[in-house]
Amino acid sequence: MKMKVKKRNFLKKKKIKEIKNELGEYSTILENKKNVEILEADPYSFILVDNEPNLIIIDGEYFPTLKAALANEFDAKTVEVDKGAIRFVTNGADVMSPGIVAASDDIEEGDIVLIIDETHKKPLAIGISLITGPEMVENDSGKAIETKHYVGDAIWNFEL
């Protein structure tokens, strides 16, 4: 998917502060950064931090990109998936409960979660939890996470 850039401009400190408040544990992406810009593109817009697309705006919500997750150490809510689920997750599928081997206990419905593989603990995707962390591990069926961004998608491949 080709992204068309509409406009790009620097964010004011007040707007950066608002975004940091919305990001919660991911707010460290914007800590002590000099160049924070918004890049309005079609179909997604980005928040560039020092010319790197570290946040993506999907449906009016801010999500860290996987490249930002790899570059920064987050104290994030994580969900580990087994080897059998990796292929599906990296193709953009939503995460089903049977493929989940572990999840942070503090995950609530609607939280932004980082989906990692159980072997190497590397980020595979970012999504929104549909159920709590303990329910993800206990359930034998059903969807647990709605995937928003995954390795290999247009956001992952986006370059300036």
Same domain for 37 and 92: no
Q: Residue 4 above 80 pLDDT?
A: no
Q: How many domains, in total, are found in the chain?
A: 2
How far out from the chain centre does Cα 26 lie?
A: 9
Q: Are residues 99 and 52 in the same domain?
A: no
Residues 86 and 143 in one domain: yes
Whether 37 is covered by a domain: the verdict is yes
Examine the fold and report which residue of 50, 71, 92 is the final residue of a domain before the chain moves on: 71
Average pLDDT rounded to a whole number, residues 53-66: 89
User: Is residue 159 a part of any domain in this protein?
Assistant: no
The pLDDT value recorded for residue 148 is 93
- Rounded average pLDDT over 65-85: 88
String of DSSP letters for 23-65: HGGGGGGGTT-S-EEEEEEES-EEEEETTEEEEEEETTEEEE-
List the single range of 16-25, 96-105, 117-126, 141-150 with lowest mean pLDDT.
Answer: 16-25
Residues 43 and 84 in one domain: no
Q: How sure is the predictor about 1, in pLDDT bands with cuts at 50, 70 and 90?
A: low
The per-residue pLDDT for 81 is: 96
Please, what is the average pLDDT of the chain? 89
Average pLDDT of the residues in 35-40? 90
Least confident of 22-26, 29-33, 136-140: 29-33
Yes or no: say if 10 and 36 are a contact pair by the CB < 8 Å rule.
yes
Residue 92's pLDDT is 93
> In CATH, what number is assigned to the domain containing residue 18?
3.10.450.120
Would 156 be classed as within a structural domain? Answer: no
Which domain-ending residue is among 19, 54, 71?
A: 71
Query: Is the alpha carbon torsion for 113, 156, 10, 71 positive or negative?
Result: positive
Do 26 and 67 lie in one domain? The reply is yes
Q: Mean pLDDT throughout 42-56?
A: 87
Domain end, chosen from 71, 89, 123, is at: 71
pLDDT band (50, 70, 90) for residue 2: low
Which domain, by its residues, includes 87?
78-150
CATH number at residue 95: 2.30.130.10
- pTM of the predicted structure, to 2 decimals: 0.86
